Structure 1
């Protein structure tokens, strides 16, 4: 009897301690650390009045992007991934500053589909290409150019990538490495063979992010890497071990950018742009506005968390400014930025996810609801989803016998790795803002995050009013956007 009572008491104690620990983890996840508060104080939060004023201003006076573009260069261009978000903006900006459509070539697996640039880019050559195939890349790069531009020097922008932020297992690494590392190697080889003398690739600020750890015994309040301020210093250190990246995507990007930077040499100048953090810019193709507005539901554990965001137009301009810095016609001696990555972000302080959610719900002509579950429950669910995915990966016989499959869609994204890039990740892009002589590219973003958000909302609302937004799922009918 006494022994049974002791076991019962021990079990109860374990449950109580476990519950208190989980409560502590949840409390930590809902807390705004003092260092984060200093970087993004409550006084920076956007009021609804400010959102509406900015929205009306943007509708009446859209930003004239032409005024902010580096001057036209007498060159021809291959934009790998030119059908996507950043690549599409690069194509649009090249055309806006006066480059001939004959001198621009889009190399992409997907067709050009962005409504905002379909018209201006209608005369640009688009070559369907699998960058994991050396032969496919070679064919795209070796296609003859029109005589009017064939003799011009060649710049290659490499923006194509596979993004799978939830995965961190070595067993799934090839899913991103095949395109992001192997594809980059193929594009580099194709660019060299085609005679390019400038090569600029898009990486990610997440390369520098360290994995976050909440499960700290006995004090969950001591979560590690919850607030991170970073720049490009990691590039000057040996490549980190796999488990020191937040996930497979970051490691693949780190390997790819080192390939690009190592290729820098006389006659072939290279550079890498690290956008930070989330990129937004097209309600049809980005992973923020489009899914949120079409679903009409937001499920988030991070409304209080602050991060930097960046408009895809700012990312594009950083690429053009990098090209201008590397241009051998202007600088016979390679500048300090050659063969290095540079981080860029919007020219404003970091914002909270609630700023984004409030902008959407305040300005959208379609309804958007917000749900904020306890963060720790989402974290526990994420571990369960990751465990299930790893089970299917390790035992494929389960798929053959029972039809069990890995999670897809939002569930596939909701894995522990995502919690790191959903924490306080603050970008320091001071190096990119320096002059070319000082090691930067003279980076200047053209739009702050609020203005960029309002531009996207204006585009979305106009599409809805014209009946061009597609099917809207609405509350309860859509898979929620997890952020």
Structure 2
């Protein structure tokens, strides 16, 4: 009997080992289905040529923006990457600072907001998780010169946690991305907003990956995903089908916003502030009654991921770390520069105010950079080749990183399961030790502090992040159609290689300024 049991255990161990070896092989290569879509691997010569070209000529961002409109603008999340750039783009288009308002829980940290016209843009401290707080923020008075202009709201706030997937942790994202979005919608409608544009995410359409797959399949389920807008027209997937809690929360927030569109069939309206219904030659927002304003809504889904500033959470973070491990080098992704993202937001506003608004309202639009998607390794090569501070990428076996990710997730969920009530004096670790059978007398003598989840970067390495990083080919053809055809007329201003090279140009200039300032201070 013992021999049979041992044989079965050895057989199971052998099968598991073979699967792990095979999975590592699959994870270490560019998926066959993605090769026809991906850019050819970048050479150092091509990277340097692109870097020198954009350093000398730059990128024409302004030429892709629509014309200025006589409107007021509230940017919720105005201190973030997308929100801050939206404010700068509006100023570049000629919108006066008095007609722009930033709302966030912290002031903008970007240097542009410390001087010039951007420093004159008013900031309002507001938390989207508080409905009353949002109402008060939207009620703040405007300069009399712009107070009667119609109102556009850009809602760019997001709590980005793409590494969690447990429903027990969903509230961490949903309180901001779903409940917070509902609060902003209510405040915008109450204030008489005529246009509401939501920053969604391509993650709303990304599904979880089945890493442990049967031997007759070539690769894990959803290892390659072609991501567009089509999922929006289908029933909401089950929670476990989303790649992460973040993905689910963005999908729910997106449907809240798009469902709030005042179309012709469902346009009862709600009372709005009298200053929100001013006439505008650019607007088709017909007032319903004396103080009722028709609010048109839609969403932009930036392709994964958004980059373009030294403080962004992906490319900027990698350059600051200078050495990173990776499991995704051969995987293929579309990327999108923040300037292309803000262009899409402004084009969407333009379309919602135009004669074809009914064709574009109440739906999301995917957007990405021009050109084919890149392998993650191409991104690392661009940064390593051009950054003045250098960069090193480590390539441990990806399957070992995946197994470690399951261990990190299990540890975090174990802490959650053993966490004590707020009124209890027993720490999570002591509770865990008690469950493992440690005698109460020994526990009483132990001095064990409260055990917390690991911090970054370790907490990021959980299975949901792997699902969020698999090969994803973005289809933004809907956004590129003309407004009369139900699109935005979106034309990205750069490829990803160009956009990242320009970001490194700015990074290198910033590093040089810091070096000169340090040298001057030392004299």
Same fold (TM over 0.5): yes
CA apart distance, 1:53: 1.4
Aligned residue for 1:426, secondary structure, equals strand
- Report the counterpart of residue 309 of structure 1 in structure 2: 335
Q: Residues 63 and 276 of structure 1: is their aligned pair in 2 closer, same or farther, counting only changes over 3 Å?
A: same
C-alpha contact (below 8 Å) 1:40/1:349 kept by paired residues = yes
- Give deviations 1:138-172, integer Å, cap 9, x for gaps: 11111111011011100000001100011111111
Which of 485, 490, 502 pairs up with 1:443? 490
CA RMSD after TM alignment: 1.8
CA shift, 1:438, in A, is 1.0
1:214, 1:94 → 2: CA distance?
44
**Aligned residue for 2:316?**
290
- Corresponding residue to 1:281 among 308, 327, 336: 308
Aligned to 1:29: 27
Paired position in structure 2 for 1:110: 106
Partner of residue 372, structure 1? 395
Structure 1 CA distance, aligned partners of 2:11 and 2:167? 37
Deviation digits for residues 100-124 of structure 1 (CA, Å, limit 9, x no counterpart): 0000000111111112454341000
Of residues 384, 403, 418, the one that matches 2:465 is: 418
Q: In the TM superposition, what are the counterparts of 1:56-135 in structure 2 within 5 Å?
A: 56-119=52-115, 120-135=117-132
Q: Deviations over 1:240-289 (max 9, x none)?
A: 110111111011111111110111005100010000110001112x1112
1:399 is aligned to 428
Note the C-alpha offset of 1:82.
Answer: 0.9
1:10 offset after TM fit, Å? 3.9
Question: Quick one: which of 142, 149, 168 aligns to 1:152?
Answer: 149
8 Å CA contact 2:365–2:476 kept in 1: the answer is: yes
1:185 shift after superposition: 0.5
Instruction: State the 1:49 CA deviation.
Output: 1.3
Structure 1 residues 76-475: aligned runs within 5 Å: 76-119=72-115, 120-219=117-216, 221-265=218-262, 266=267, 267-284=294-311, 286-327=312-353, 330-331=354-355, 334-397=357-420, 398-399=427-428, 401=430, 402=448, 403-467=450-514
| Most deviating of 434-443 and 94-103 | 434-443
Which runs of 5 or more residues in structure 2 are unaligned? Answer: 268-293, 421-426, 431-447, 519-523
Aligned length: 463
Which is further off, 246-255 or 4-13? 4-13
SS of the equivalent of 1:466 reads: helix
Do the aligned partners of residues 259 and 196 (structure 1) sit closer, same or farther apart at CA in structure 2, a change above 3 Å counting?
same
Q: Aligned-pair distance for 1:219?
A: 4.5
1:283 aligns to what SS in structure 2? Answer: coil
1:52 and 1:195 map into 2 onto residues whose CA distance is 50
Structure 1 partner of 2:433:
none
| Further displaced range: 56-65 or 355-364 | 56-65
Rounded to whole Å, the distance in 1 between the matches of 2:298 and 2:516 is 37
Bigger-Rg structure (1/2)? 2
Q: CA deviation at 1:60?
A: 1.7
Distance (Å, rounded) in 2 between the aligned partners of 1:64 and 1:17? 56
Contact 1:28 1:220 in 2 (8 A): no
Contact 1:360–1:368 under 8 Å retained in 2: yes
User: How far apart in 2 are the matches of 1:367 and 1:469?
Assistant: 19
The 3 A distance-change label for structure 1 pair 204 and 451 is: same
Describe the SS at the equivalent of 2:120. Answer: coil
Q: Superposed, which structure 2 residues align to 1:2-13 within 5 Å?
A: 5-13=3-11
CA distance in 2, matches of 1:104, 1:143: 12
Q: Give yes or no for contact 1:24–1:221 (8 Å, CA) kept in 2.
A: no
Q: Tell me which moved more, 48-57 or 426-435.
A: 48-57
| Conserved 8 A contact 1:25-1:221 | no
Are the aligned partners of 1:214 and 1:220 in contact in 2 as well (CA < 8 Å)? no
1: CA distance between counterparts of 2:157 and 2:501? 27
State how far apart, in whole Å, the 1-side matches of 2:360 and 2:103 are: 26
Q: Any idea what SS the aligned residue of 1:161 has?
A: coil
For the residue of structure 1 that corresponds to 2:377, the secondary structure is: helix
Q: Quote the offset at 1:65 in angstroms.
A: 2.2
CA contact 1:30–1:304 (8 Å) conserved in 2: yes
CA distance, structure 1, for counterparts of residue 504 and residue 489 of structure 2: 29
Moved more, 7-16 or 154-163: 7-16
| Shift in alpha-carbon separation, 1:469–1:76, aligned structure 2, 3 A | farther
1:116 to 1:146, Cα distance in 2 relative to 1, 3 A? closer
Superimposed CA distance per residue, residues 331-361 of structure 1 (whole angstroms, 9 cap, x where no aligned partner) = 2x63311011111111111000011100111
Q: Is the partner of 2:178 in helix, strand or coil?
A: helix
Question: Does structure 1 retain, via aligned residues, the 8 Å contact 2:383–2:390?
Answer: no
Instruction: Provide the secondary structure at the position in 1 that maps to 2:102.
Output: strand
| Range that drifts further, 393-402 or 22-31 | 393-402
- Residue ranges of structure 1 left out of the alignment (5+ in a row): 472-483
- Contact 2:31 / 2:331 at 8 angstroms: preserved in 1? no
2:6 and 2:143 mapped to 1: Cα distance? Answer: 82
| 1:300 shift after superposition | 0.2
Q: Partner of 1:477 in structure 2? A: none
